Structure 1
Amino acid sequence: MKSDYTPEDLLPLSGIQHFLFCRRQWALIHVEMQWQDNVLTVEGKQLHERVDDPFFVETRRDVVISRSVPVASYTLGLSGICDVVEFTRSPEGVRLPGREGFYLPAPVEYKRGSPKREPVDEAQLCAQAMCLEEMLLVTIPYGFLYYGKTRRREPVELTDELRRLVRDATAEMHAYMARGYTPRVKISKACRSCSLADVCLPKLQENVIAASRYIKQNIEG
């Protein structure tokens, strides 16, 4: 991966979740600039609207809570918004303007559903932490995922493995963007809940691929 990207190179940080969920979905949104809402995406937006207030800062004992925090990494080539960043008083943290002592940041990401089998949400959270680390010159060992369906907050350890997943996915995203490449359809159970099913047309694409394979094997061959 390149050591530095320019501001024009930065990709939306939130796209890493789309990319790991389905590379074709990510390319349709970020390369071809196509998007459609469904009930799941609308519910997700409503949850974030209740959370995101860029002018809201709250203090609870030794914790400073800041919402809608803009972040960026010129090493990863990402920029975005953290739903919430909690700064907890810690000798391993950083100084905050107008406050005494040191505070360790931890990103908190809000999701409408429940925990997923694949670490797509964890990767997005880790990418936020890696941006904060680059901006604040601090090491962030953990973050949190809050799920609207379970109404529970899950701690996430930001492991070397998770960080490697973020770096590899981000490098692949930049490669796709540079090529203007949209992957072919790979039908899975996730297609049923995808908001871009009417744009992607997975069944139609599968039939086209099958037809072209049939022609090549039985007619041209």
Structure 2
Amino acid sequence: MQDDPVDPIMLSALQHWSYCPRQCALIHVEQVFDENVFTMRGNAAHERVDDPGFAIYEGVRTERALPVWSDRMGLIGKCDLVEFHPDGRVYPVEYKHGLKRGKKHDDVQLAAQAMCLEEMTGKHITHGAIYHHSSRRRREVEITQKLRDAVENAVHAIRAILDSGSLPPPANDARCKECSLKEICQPQVVAGLKMQNALLADLFKPEIM
């Protein structure tokens, strides 16, 4: 008897989970989302590549908003831009707002896109890029084994969150400042309640004679 099919995980969930597991659960389990200045900037950065189409320049074919998936990992989503070079190289490019700077969660999402493309095309992908909209510059990312392992680990962790339906504890750190779900998540309140409960439990712990 075959195993029951599982619902695919959105590629964007890997970026959310890598940034903050609680944010991932709020969006993909609770179906909660809200806008802030950072998400609006991100939407603006994606305007051009959200329109499906292709172009050919100097022999390089570029596909915008290309649907991708992995049956092995149970992933589905789309790449902002994929370059198909004459020498056979496949090169995914993910668009992000902001200045050029390294962010692990962006790299994990890009690596997941590369792994989907590998499964679909049969070609090994060694590099991709993050295009930073504010600085109009690319940051090339090597698709290392470490990044591939991070993708696999993220998929397993997200699957566990989806299966349990539970919310991880809040980060309650510098990440919360830029999160559009801060008011919904209430990280300081939730973290404070957890600390109070721990103090109460310790206060009423029976003494061992």
What's the TM-score bracket when you normalise by the shorter of the two chains?
A: over 0.9
Deviation track 1:137-164 (CA, whole Å, cap 9, x = no partner) reads 1111111110012221111111111111
- TM-score for both structures, normalised by structure 2: 0.92
Query: Residues 34-183 of structure 1: matches in 2 within 5 Å?
Result: 34-54=32-52, 56-90=53-87, 103-183=88-168
Runs of 4+ aligned residues of structure 1 deviating over 6 Å after TM superposition are 4-7
Greater Cα shift, 13-22 or 42-51: 42-51
AA of the residue aligned to 1:146: Y
Q: Helix, strand or coil: the match of 1:9?
A: coil
1:199 aligns with 2:184: yes
Deviation track 1:141-191 (CA, whole Å, cap 9, x = no partner) reads 111110012221111111111111111111111111111121012211011
Q: Percent identity?
A: 39
Q: Distance in 2 between matches of 1:146 and 1:122?
A: 11
AA of the residue aligned to 2:105: V
Contact 2:83 2:91 (8 Å CA) reproduced: yes
Deviation at 1:9, TM superposition (A): 1.7
Contact 2:46 2:95 (8 Å CA) reproduced: yes
Instruction: Give unmatched runs, 5+ long, in structure 1.
Output: 91-102
**CA distance 1:106–1:25, change in 2 (3 Å):** same
**CA distance 1:116–1:189, change in 2 (3 Å):** farther
Q: Distance in 1 between matches of 2:4 and 2:97?
A: 33
Contact 1:65 1:84 (8 Å CA) reproduced: yes
Q: Distance in 1 between matches of 2:151 and 2:69?
A: 14
Match of 2:25 in 1: 27
Contact 1:66 1:85 (8 Å CA) reproduced: yes
Paired residues, number: 205
Contact 1:72 1:131 (8 Å CA) reproduced: yes
Q: Distance in 1 between matches of 2:196 and 2:122?
A: 54
Q: Distance in 1 between matches of 2:179 and 2:84?
A: 35
What is the aligned-residue RMSD (CA, Å)? Answer: 1.8
Q: Distance in 1 between matches of 2:177 and 2:45?
A: 22
AA of the residue aligned to 1:29: I
